[in-house]
Structure 1
Amino acid sequence: MVKNAAELTSVPTTKFVLYNLAGEPKAYYRVDRQPLSQKQENSNTEAVEAIAHSIIAIDRSGSMYHDINPLKETLIKLLTLEEYTHSQLLVTLISYSSQGNLISHFQRVPIQEVMKLNSSYLQEIQNIRVSGATCISQALQLATELVQPDELTGIALHSDGYANHPNVRSEVETLEQICQNLNQSNVFLNTIAYSASSDFKLLSRLANLVSGTCVQAGTVKQVYDALYNTSKILGEAIAEAIEEPLFKEYDYQIFLSHSAHKLNGNAGKLKILGLKPDDDGIFYKYQKLTQTEFEQLTDIPLAQTDESVFAFAKAQLIDGNLNQAKYALVSTFDATLSQGHSKAITNSQLVELSQALDQAIYEPQSLTEHQIISEVPVNKNLPILELIQLFETHKDQIILNLKHLQDHYQRRGVKRVPGKRDDDGNLVKPWLTTEYLDGGEYVQMGSFDINRNTATINLLITRPVKLVKADDETPITEVAGILLNDLKSYNNYTLVGDGQLNVESLKVKFSNRKVFKVFKEQNLLSNADSFDGNTEYEIDLTPLPIVPMAADYTQVQGIFSRSAILRVLSSLFSAHLKEVSDTYTADQVAALKEHYLSKSLYLNFPTTTEYSDLEEALNTGKVDSRVSYKIELGNCEILNLGQLHSANKFLDRFYEVYEQETGDKLDKPTFDQTLDRAVIFGHKTLSKRTKVTKVDDLMKPIFDEFLGLEKNGSMTDILNQLGASDLVGLLEKKWQGETVDTEQFVEALSGGLAKVNQALETLYRDKVSPLVFYIGATGLIPDELDAVAYTADELAAKSGDLKFSKSEKEGMFFEVGDLILSVYPKTEYYSVS
């Protein structure tokens, strides 16, 4: 038994530097090796025959609707083969969906009994039906209860989605605890991620915790192969379990067997189960060093492109440490792998990364075809965040091939249709519709919207339309004296969703030679030799990084308090302007609303989902779910901007409004009611049940000053900074009891609202969105932020005033100075094509 590094002097030792994605050193490692043959010689391990128990746990949630019948046929074929090859095998079959919807079809039944002609067990398989969501933990818990100490148990856990019921966080915590317990028994767990929407990251970690492997299976045949691999191990003589401690001088260890196609890693003791006596194997021991210690190891070779580094990347990926996995990947100096997989963040991308690392480890000859360089291959292409700025700057000189975009577009949400549903769930369509006035193939390059709490970029395409009656296509050209000759439709297309590229390329034409040159110089038009206004150019987005990796993300202090004040002002001004227009009368606004038009002449057709019952849509496979990670900014008193009250709610919460002439109190007042009448505001006497919160403490000074109750500068200072001094002047007149013209006040409010919203937009564009995008696109918190991580419970204990929603309770929270970054999962639904 190897006990320390000094005793490994006869075994090759190497070292490597762990770099980040920008090519900067992050850590230094020494790697010692211990072949499995040394342990076998020391322990004289012999193969043993054991009673074998195969537990098969399959997913029958609603998303399996289209695949459940082929899966049942696959199960029967597998069991048929097992009856011939391993007649003493005991079999348990479990299926699961939502929490509480667990079925144990049969337990510990000899396979010969299962496969008897017309057996009840085969009938059980045939009767499996789909329904509900995905609660994996209940299946694994039952499997745990069926494990016997005197037998070898192999669990094959199958899932085609996320463990999200009753919620993501509790499921993950429960599953990890179950796997920690299973690892104490004579059990190995192989997991099967069935389909691209499976949570490959979680399933990989669970398998690693119980000496197993995770397989991504996109077809029924691959599911069969994965299930068969589990039962095949159970049917052969295997070596006794190997338990390898991690001695204090090491920080991490990995076991790798090429013949068994097995890799397990841990920052503690490793338990290895499921090897045959003739399987090879090696333990890699990783010792983290300081830079000085590393540089003093002059007699140890530097080996960046070594199996130990690829293995480290794979083990970190399995263990859920995505940042470490990516750092190790680029530290191999393998440009082929790095350029293809360093952006991996979604399940499908992580699967591809995992498979690429497998090939590098188990088929090392494949590396001869890779480009290996002498440094970290930093992606120096223009980031997509900067590309959209180019598009925005030059959009008037660019037209977009809309048909190409639509043909290659993947919907990310639930499809909606015009209309609303009546009490019986029937679709009632609008009495008006629109017709496009352009050809539809080419359109002017649109504008871009960056989501404020996910790594999502939407391209907004504007097209001219006319309003027509749905029954006879009669055009509507005028409403209440307002000509409708400049109506537009607005359609959003997601270019990047949750950090994942959703559109691979855009085809464009340029009307300006100088603009063409700008894009050419950024290497965005690789096949373009010269400018031609009639030529269509394709911009390939796939090689572009989402965000600049070397950018400065540390300038975040104070941004939450400023954004919160701007958000309160925006809500306050908008509440006044909700039902008024500085152009049209109230009757005109009402007429426009009847024709699905806003006071700004935007079309507002009602829409609803294609289905009337979400549960039914999930059960029939028309709709599926995925997990999106939301990223919010807050502080230790207010978790995020979503916790701010609306202006009218806050008015009702803390204030009373009286008619100036009569003294009558307004019942349930709203700010739009105060525009055309003289009113007096006063503080409400709060009931004992009203609990004043930190949100109230933030909002009250702003409202007090706006309403003329207290001159404190919390509002006027920022409005003067933004150039809205005309609004400040009118408010001061109101505070002194002077009459202010309503139209003039509405105009000033509209101008102030525009300035506030622009300041908020600039703050998000320059400070917030790049940080949100970095986190969402890389899965990393920037190292430079030196963030301290907390769970919801830990943060609540530290900051007692914080309030958590159901989704937020499942999140992780990072303290960065006076800022709290919240990263929490949320279930999103999407239509299945």
Structure 2
Amino acid sequence: MTSQKTKFAVYNLAGKEKAFYLTEQVKLEIKPDAIPKKMVAHSIIIIDRSGSMYYDLEPLKETLIKLLTLDEYSNSDLVITLISYSSKGDVTCHFQRVPIQELMKPDSSYIAEIKAIHVTGATCISQSLKLAQELIQNEELTAITLHSDGYANDSSFNSESKAIEVICHELQKISVFVNTIAYSPYSDFKFLAKIANSVSGTCLQAGNIKEVYDALYNTGNVLKEATGIVIEEPLASDYSYQIFFSPTAQKINGTNQTFKVFGLKPEDEGFIYKYKQITKAAYEQLKDVPIAQNDTSVYLFAKANLADGNLNTAKYALASTFNATLTSRHAKALTNEDIANFTQDLEIALFYPHILAEHEILDHVKVNNKISVLELIDILSQHRQHIIINLKHLQANYQRKGIKRVNGTRGENKELITPWLEIEYLEPGDYVQMGSFDINRNTATINMLLRRKVQLITAAEKTPITEVAGVLLNDLMTFNNYTIVSDGEINVKNLKVKISSKKAFEALEEVGVIDGGEFDYQKEYTLELADLPLVSFAGNYSSVEGLFTQLAEIKTLSSIFAAHLREESDVFIPAQIEELKKHYLSKSLYLNFPTTNEYTDLKVALSNGTVDSRVSYKIDIGGTEILNLSKLSSANSFLDKRYEVFDGETGEIFKKPTFALGLNENITFRAKTLSSRTKVTKADDLMKGIFDDFLGIETTRKVAEILNLVGAGSLALLLQAKHAGTPVDKQEIINAMTTAKEKLDSYTEQVYREKISPLVFYIGATGLLPDEMNAQAMTADELGSKYPHLQFAKSEQEGTFFVVGDTVISVYAETEYYSKTPVAV
């Protein structure tokens, strides 16, 4: 064996050094006299027949039969075992250790058995691997090919992962390798890759049936040789990790302990890379050791960390190769599908290094040092009163990121019924005042809200409506959101503006987003956004520890107030509110037209190209008991679920209780007796503590604590008096609730604006956690097994999760539909 040492530095995406490594590369030599005699070859094929394989199972069976036909001619000594699995206890061995020539005879019952397999049940992988383990014999080379399109979660992910870990540990001791094939973007690629990595195999994310064919064909080629070559290497005490790499066998297996590698042919090349983290001083002292950044050792380091769930380190390692092409492509990878694509590109770079000639390889990490969009938004917000936007240009170049809505409702035949009123713009010029900017609460999205002055007119006669319910409509505004950044991508490439303040001009000129020269208030400038980084990698992000519980409590109380005030106002009487509604005006005098989708059939709209879909990445902040705020019920639904509302004088129980009833006299609340079938969640427990205190059922002072936090303690005193039996004026309660709700919502908005939204935007824009948040990526099943109280929606089950202290950060993909802008002809 020959060896050589190199070293490399790990840089973050800001180009700053983060860590230093010494690497030893050992080339293996397989000598002819060391090659064992030819062994019996045993192929164990394990098929996932869970319900989600409905569309993939038939093509898989056809492909399998074709390959067995080839194997009959090329490897006549091969024996085949076929196992299929679904729910726990539902594993089937269709046939075992059948010689390939027997299996492929005319009218073979074995082929009929393959064709008869059909989908059933859930996904319990461990039982199939356990059965496969029992069928392995000594003195033969066994290849297990495991197919799956989902998550090993029956009966639970925790039990499955533990059982599979034990089986893999046992398989490491014998002449077997396990290749895994993930069938869809929703497969647990990370877990399947871990199985393959631990038992000398490879994992494939199959985009089509041809890739499945290739994977099975390659396995067959290894078994044809069936020499039983084994590579065993202990990990030296002064190294922390080692990776076996064979470009010819296309194997990459990493471990922090001794490994055994099976499934090699005599002509295969093999290398072992050993890694040791060292200090910067030691790194600089190793002057005779060459620096190797764009090197196999660094790409392998990225691959190993990706498999271990260390996403930040994997991305930093990729950036440290100075490969700008791949860094740009995968810097934002977060979801399971993203990680599978990231893995595939790393493997291509390692197995087919000539492809790197097509990549942009630099001598440093490619860093965009321009002002970030987030910082620019702050400057624009400070000076927005002195900036006007060319609205016509914005509208002409804008791509809508949601479904276009039109005013009106749909009739029985889906015809559009338009409102009897419409709006007329009072300032129809090309320019409008620059709007306010808002960072979305759970996506890397920035919206610009533009306000325009309008008047209400009748749709038929075009007659202006100047007064409604005794209110002059002099200041009616319409609001339109324009998405500047959408899910971490620039959506508006540039803005054409005029600037009326020299101070505003100088602020924008200084950061290089407009052309220089003398200030000219008549000139139209172009703010270029397309080439700006979204965030600064050098930024500091506030801790979010403890914020989720606080926000959940505030949301619960605010929801209670909203339910009380739905039909109430601290300004208008009910008759006025009703009159405002008829004119599509809210209690706050905002326009509130009914709207409906522009299309009537989504499938038709998708087929004719007027609507398309995209993936939106949601980032939520939660806790280890409640995953996010969406798990909280609305106030009225929770009231109906957990409480009875009745008339204190007559004893009449209201069948459909609402909080609006609570504003009346003689209304009493009491907790329901729950049946044994009622499922109580941690979100329910949190809400009940606040509800009991608010309703006077149990005094916990929780409501007063929340109200005092936001400066609305006067309402707490009114509620205390009411619970003590002191009469309280209804309007006084309404006024106090209105003020308290405004303060609660304002406090929440401030918390998001200052602490949560910047973090969410950073994660969504970069695909990274801030460096100070050191956490491994987890799947929903891994997180759920650690924190069993958590509940996951369907979209969340495919997400990626990070636990930082008592906070859970969730990242998951959702399909969003949007109206496409017609292409000009």
Which amino acid counterpart does residue 77 of structure 2 have in structure 1? Q
Provide the residue aligned with 2:40 in structure 1: 50
1:33 alignment counterpart: 25
TM superposition shift of 1:45: 3.8
Distance 1:198 1:556, change over 3 A: closer
- Alignment CA distance shift 1:278-1:789 (3 Å): closer
Corresponding residue for residue 752 of structure 1: 740
- 1:479-558 → structure 2 map (5 Å cutoff): 501=488, 505-506=491-492, 510=496, 512=498, 540=530, 544=533, 547-557=535-545
Q: d(CA) in 2 for partners of 1:103 and 1:593?
A: 64
What per-residue deviation string (whole Å, max 9, x for no partner) do you get for residues 535-568 of structure 1?
Answer: 9999658x845x5432223433553464355334
| Corresponding residue number in structure 1 for 2:554 | 566
Distance 2:115 2:342 in 1: 36
Q: Deviations over 1:453-491 (max 9, x none)?
A: 666778999999999xxxxx999x99x988999998999
Which of 147, 151, 164 is the equivalent residue of 1:158?
Answer: 147
Report matched runs for 1:279-294 at 5 Å.
Answer: 279-294=268-283
Equivalent pair of 1:13/1:33 in contact (CA under 8 Å)? yes
What do residues 469-523 of structure 1 show as CA deviations (whole Å, max 9, x unaligned)?
xxxx999x99x988999998999989755xxx5x674466635468999999878
Deviation at 1:13, TM superposition (A): 1.7
CA–CA distance in structure 1, aligned partners of residues 46 and 178 of structure 2: 10
Q: 2:213 aligns with which of 224, 231, 235?
A: 224
- For 1:255, the equivalent position in structure 2 comes to 244
Q: String of CA shifts for 1:167-218, please: whole Å, max 9, x gaps.
A: 6665555544443343333221222334545443333222211111123332
The corresponding residue for 1:714 is 705
Contact 1:323 1:780 in 2 (8 A): yes
Q: What SS does the corresponding residue of 1:57 show, helix, strand or coil?
A: strand
| Alpha-carbon distance change, 231 to 521 in structure 1, aligned in 2, over 3 angstroms | farther
Aligned position for 1:614? none
Alignment check: 8 A CA contact 1:775 1:781 kept: yes
Does the aligned pair in 2 maintain the 1:195–1:219 contact within 8 Å?
Answer: no
Q: Given the alignment of the two structures, is residue 297 of structure 1 paired with residue 304 of structure 2, yes or no?
A: no
Alignment partners' CA distance in 1, 2:245 and 2:791: 43
Query: Is the 8 Å Cα contact of residues 10 and 320 (structure 2) preserved in structure 1?
Result: yes
The residue identity in structure 2 corresponding to 1:183 is Q
Contact 2:389 2:431 in 1 (8 A): no
The Cα of 1:313 is off from its aligned counterpart by 1.1
Structure 1 unaligned blocks of 5 or more: 2-9, 421-426, 468-472, 612-623
One-letter amino acid of the structure 2 residue matched with residue 510 of structure 1: K
Q: 2:709 is matched by which residue type in structure 1?
A: I
Q: Secondary structure at the residue paired with 2:263?
A: coil
Distance change (3 Å), C-alpha of 1:491 and 1:49: farther
Deviation at 1:760, TM superposition (A): 0.3
Q: Tell me by how many angstroms 1:709 deviates.
A: 10
Return the alpha-carbon distance in structure 1 between the equivalents of residues 124 and 219 of structure 2.
22
From the superposition, tell whether residues 598 and 713 of structure 1 become closer, same or farther in structure 2 (CA, over 3 Å): closer
d(CA) in 1 for partners of 2:33, 2:178: 25
Query: How big is the shift at 1:759?
Result: 1.7
Check the 8 A contact 2:617/2:764 in 1, yes or no: no
Matches of 1:488 and 1:124, distance apart in 2? 67
Residues 130-279 of structure 1: pairs in structure 2 closer than 5 A: 136-163=125-152, 171-279=160-268
DSSP 3-state at the match of 2:303 = helix
Percent identical residues: 42
TM-score computed with the length of structure 2 as normaliser: 0.72
- CA 1:92–1:272 in 2, change beyond 3 Å: closer, same or farther? same
Quick check: 1:312–1:325 contact (8 Å CA) kept in 2? yes
Question: CA-atom RMSD, angstroms?
Answer: 6.3
Question: Do 1:204 and 1:319's aligned partners in 2 also have CA atoms closer than 8 Å?
Answer: no
The within-5 A match list for 1:233-382 is 233-367=222-356, 370-380=359-369
Q: 1:265 to 1:558 in 2, by over 3 A?
A: closer
Q: How does 1:108-123 map to 2 (within 5 A)?
A: 108-123=97-112
CA contact under 8 A between 1:554 and 1:785: conserved in structure 2? no
CA contact (8 A) 1:384 1:544 kept: yes
| 3-state SS in 2 of match to 1:397 | strand
Aligned match for 2:808, one of 801, 814, 822: 822
SS in 1 for 2:317: helix
Matched residue, 2:389: 397
Structure 2 counterpart of 1:632: 621
**Are the structure 2 counterparts of residues 538 and 289 from structure 1 closer, same or farther at C-alpha, using a change threshold of 3 Å?**
closer
Pair 72,403 (structure 1): closer, same or farther in 2 beyond 3 Å: farther
Name the structure 1 match of 2:68. Answer: 79
CA–CA separation in structure 1 for the residues paired with 2:402 and 2:123: 24
Letter of the structure 1 residue corresponding to residue 72 of structure 2? E
Name structure 2 gaps, 5 residues minimum: 602-612, 820-825
Paired residue for 1:18? 10
CA distance in structure 1 between the partners assigned to 2:64 and 2:514 by the alignment: 51
* Cα offset, 1:44, TM superposition: 2.9
Shift of 1:275: 1.2
Q: Is the partner of 2:225 in helix, strand or coil?
A: coil
Q: 1:103 to 1:797 in 2, by over 3 A?
A: closer
Q: Distance in 2 between matches of 1:798 and 1:80?
A: 46
| Superposed CA offset, 1:616-639 (max 9, x none) | xxxxxxxx999988643448x988
Question: Take 1:585 and 1:14, find their aligned partners in 2: how far apart are those partners?
Answer: 79
Change over 3 Å in CA distance of 1:535–1:168 after alignment to 2: farther
Give the drift of 1:335.
3.2
Moved more, 177-186 or 217-226: 177-186
Q: Aligned partners of 1:96 and 1:466: how far apart in 2?
A: 66
Aligned match of 2:607 = none
State the Cα distance separating 1:283 from its structure 2 match. 1.1
Mapped partners of 1:43, 1:626: distance in 2: 55
Task: Report the 3-state secondary structure (helix = DSSP H, G, I; strand = E; otherwise coil) of the residue aligned with 2:3.
Answer: coil
Q: Residues of 1 paired with 2:178 and 2:454: CA distance?
A: 58
The amino acid across from 1:44 in the alignment is A
Quick check: 2:450–2:480 contact (8 Å CA) kept in 1?
Answer: yes
User: Separation in 2 of the partners of 1:697 and 1:32?
Assistant: 60
Aligned amino acid, residue 287 of structure 1: K
Q: Give the whole-Å Cα distance in 1 for the aligned partners of 2:619 and 2:239.
A: 36
Mean CA deviation greater in 779-788 or 323-332: 779-788
**Closer, same or farther: CA 77–811 of 1 in aligned 2, 3 Å:** closer
Which residue of 2 is the match for residue 579 of structure 1?
Answer: 567
TM-score by length of 1: 0.72
Give the Å deviation of 1:154: 1.5
Pair 1:175–1:710, CA change in 2 (3 A): closer
The AA in structure 2 aligned to 1:81 is: L
Q: Tell me if structure 2 keeps the 8 A contact 1:360–1:366.
A: yes
- Over 3 Å counting, the alpha-carbon distance change for 1:831 and 1:86 in structure 2 is farther
Query: Whole-Å Cα distance in 2 between the matches of residues 578 and 79 of structure 1?
Result: 68
Trace 1:441-452 onto structure 2 (pairs within 5 A).
Answer: 452=441
Q: Which residue of 2 aligns with 1:7?
A: none
SS in 1 for 2:333: coil
Provide closer, same or farther for how the CA distance between residues 554 and 464 of structure 1 changes in structure 2, counting only shifts above 3 A: closer
Instruction: Provide closer, same or farther for how the CA distance between residues 750 and 231 of structure 1 changes in structure 2, counting only shifts above 3 A.
Output: same
Which residue pairs with 1:6 in the alignment?
none
Aligned partner of 1:21: which letter? L
The offset of 1:36, in angstroms, is: 0.9
Equivalent position SS for 1:784: coil
Give the Å deviation of 1:304.
2.8
The 3-state SS of whatever aligns with 2:190 is: helix
